[in-house]
Amino acid sequence: MQSIPVDTGRLGVLRCAIAPEAKIVNPDTKEVRKDKDGNTVYTVAVTVRQDARRISVIEIAVAGEPKGIEEGQVLKVTGLTAFAWQMGDRHGISFRADTITPASGPPVKGGEAR
């Protein structure tokens, strides 16, 4: 799997769409994914707004539970890396970060402009 560093400064506004959730490996047993050091891996759904109209949602994995993150909050993502993957006929891009922390300011509720 090839890793590609991502310049978050070029992504525009990063906002929490879905608060951190433990990444589940097996839905039947509810087993959670752990990193090589035994830390639980969490995912955060993040909206990426590069211009006034276009918004994309990506899921970013991070080791350890990100603290103080709420839906609607602007985020600071450090050490973001993209990974191209393929399994049979399926393929895509996954994202991993070193840390995800709240940027200054309270979360925005109900689509209010900031």
Q: Other CB atoms closer than 10 Å to residue 107's CB: what's the count?
A: 16
The full set of domain ranges for the chain reads 3-102
CATH of domain 3-102: 2.40.50
Mean pLDDT over all residues of the chain?
Answer: 88
pTM: 0.84
109 pLDDT tier (thresholds 50, 70, 90)? low
112 pLDDT tier (thresholds 50, 70, 90)? very low
State pLDDT tens for residues 47-80.
Answer: 998 777 788 899 999 999 999 999 999 999 999 9
Distances (CA, A) of 33 to 20, 60, 106, 112: 14, 14, 30, 35
